[in-house]
Copies of this chain bind each other. A is one copy, B any other.
């Protein structure tokens, strides 16, 4: 059972929230290689989100190689999903470099960032190498 939430008041577009949510389901192992994704109309109904918005998220996830559509039978998780997600996350990290330079320049010390990371990484399990 997939659990996704969308916050329509967020400045993050809903389709991006959907992408992030699906990626989370996959990295958490709730959705595995070959598993079917909920149909667009199903997810649209359960989340109260416009079908076009679901569609947009699915198309983008397909573009990234995380999911794939089998004509007539919906979307399913690809074998390379985990790897592709990791790749986009690494790109995201790289894009934060300018932001962190600003933080550092404003006086935020590395120790504070380390404390922040301690919070983030507590309880993060060592990810065994899964080739999925």
Query: Interface residues, chain A, CB within 8 Å of chain B?
Result: 8-9, 11, 13, 20, 23-24, 27-28, 63, 68-71, 73, 76, 82, 85-86, 89-90, 92-94, 96-97, 99-110, 112-113, 116-117, 119-121, 124, 127
Contact = CB atoms under 8 A, between A and B. Distances in A.
Contacts of A94: 116
Given A24-B102, A93-B113, A116-B93, A9 B108 contact: no
A74 to B, nearest CB: 10
Given A9-B68, A68-B9, A112-B93, A104 B121 contact: yes
Contacts of A100: 116-117, 120
22 contacts: A8-B73, A9-B68, A9-B70, A27-B107, A28-B105, A63-B63, A86-B107, A86-B108, A89-B102, A89-B103, A89-B108, A90-B108, A93-B103, A93-B112, A100-B117, A104-B120, A104-B121, A104-B124, A105-B124, A107-B127, A110-B117, A110-B121
